[in-house]
Amino acid sequence: MTRAWNFSAGPATLPLEVLQQAREELLDWHGIGAGIMEVSHRGKAFSGVIETAEADLRELLSIPENYKVLFLQGGQTLQFAQVPMNLLAGGSADYLVTGAWSQKAYKEAARVGKTRLVSSTEDGGGRFTRLPAIEDLRFDADAAYFHLCTNETIHGVEMHEEYEARLFDAIAAAAPGVPLISDMSSHILSRPLDVRRYGLISAGAQKNIGPSGLTLVIVRDDLLGRAAAGTPTILDYRNQADNDSMLNTPSTFAIYVAGLVFKWLKARGGLAEVAAVNREKAQRLYAAIDGSGGFYRSAVGLACRSIMNVPFNLPRPELEAQFVRESEAAGFIGLKGHKSVGGIRASIYNAVPLEAVEALLHFMDAFRAANA
């Protein structure tokens, strides 16, 4: 068996140890005579799986008691609608747009109710390469919530801890009590996180958590029970919380695999340790880009370059196509940039080992030597 060096943006690579364990348990989970996805979600076996997954996630992220963890479906895209359905309550919400995903969130929410664009960093031609200066932002003190995307997967723009903390403080000062809502799909679990800064955090699982088909929502208790009249039963967070995410059949296999990933993260020493490795992977990749004499170029400002998603360009689109072709022949997967922006993108989630990044750096050096 050969596993490729997988830099896919999502669905993305999973830890080898997790896949091996899932394979081991596929036909007979812990001696029950069936795989875990073949038995009732209300039975003892699966109840244990989802409870352990939640407990491990709570430990990894230090999720406070007054937050619920929901294992939902519909992807992050459904959250773009579900958040305003649950939280607008006839009011208006503030949206900060720093890339394609927060822009989608803003457009979707506008279909549901009243929204206000706080700021967009789009610089024409759909390019996003920076974060706004926090002192330039104006906050609505009456907003139902403030929405952001802390890691823009397509454009590679991330709010790092320091920016995130300053933004939180600015909102707390100018709009006290307005809850922050973040789409963390592509960097949740990449580093420690102060959950208490947020009213709600959500993430599609298929980037840094597990298989697709699972959406994680972490929501503060006081935000439950505010859904607009007419909200379908299953889309009301209150109902999902009251039923332990089992209002209907949840995505049992994805929850099981996510649980294995949480155990894997714990075995690596937790998120501070994982973050140190992630920083090293990113630093080495950005250093190679910046040190290539302009052959490889990152458009993203130094202060907000993503640790998880590293988009970059070559001097000409034809060279980028050649880079993708030759990388695939050399055993790499998923390096082609998102269709909306082109170029190259290396997604270096938790499950991408340092050796994969080293192999990529090697390939990039050789490609530059042959084509510069």
Given the rule CB under 6 A, which residues bind ligand PLP? 10, 75-77, 101, 149, 153, 183, 185-186, 204, 207
Residue 104 is a catalytic residue: no
Q: Minimum distance between the CB of residue 75 and ligand PLP, rounded to whole angstroms?
A: 3
Q: Strand, helix or coil at 178?
A: coil
Nearer to ligand PLP, 183 or 236 (CB): 183
Length of the chain: 372
Nearer to ligand PLP, 207 or 263 (CB): 207
Q: Minimum distance between the CB of residue 157 and ligand PLP, rounded to whole angstroms?
A: 11
Q: What angle do CA 137, 142, 143 make, to 5 degrees?
A: 65
Q: What's the distance, Cα to Cα, between the start and end of the chain in Å?
A: 34
Nearer to ligand PLP, 10 or 334 (CB): 10
Sign of CA dihedral 196, 197, 200, 206: negative
Place of tokens 């549901």: 112
d(CA 54, CA 176): 30
d(CA 169, CA 146): 13
Q: Minimum distance between the CB of residue 368 and ligand PLP, rounded to whole angstroms?
A: 29
The dihedral formed by the CA atoms of 201, 190, 310 and 198, expressed in degrees to the nearest 10: 20
Contact, 200 vs 181, CB < 8 A?
yes
Q: Minimum distance between the CB of residue 299 and ligand PLP, rounded to whole angstroms?
A: 18
Nearer to ligand PLP, 145 or 295 (CB): 145
Nearer to ligand PLP, 45 or 344 (CB): 344
- What does the block give as tokens for 140? 């609505």
d(CA 199, CA 287): 36
56, 94, 183, 236: which one is catalytic?
183
Peptide bond into 232 cis (omega under 30): no
Nearer to ligand PLP, 150 or 252 (CB): 150
207, 263, 281, 336: which one is catalytic?
207
Residue 341's closest CA among 76, 65, 147, 156? 156
Q: Report which DSSP code applies to 7.
A: -
Q: Report which DSSP code applies to 119.
A: E
Kindly tell me the burial class for residue 318, based on how many C-beta atoms sit within 10 Å of its own C-beta (0-12, 13-18, 19 or more): exposed
Residue 101 is a catalytic residue: yes
Nearer to ligand PLP, 86 or 251 (CB): 251
101, 263, 264, 336: which one is catalytic?
101
Q: Minimum distance between the CB of residue 99 and ligand PLP, rounded to whole angstroms?
A: 8
Q: Minimum distance between the CB of residue 133 and ligand PLP, rounded to whole angstroms?
A: 22
Q: Minimum distance between the CB of residue 90 and ligand PLP, rounded to whole angstroms?
A: 26
| Beta-sheet pairing, 215-220 with 157-158 | unpaired
* Residues with a known catalytic role: 101, 183, 207
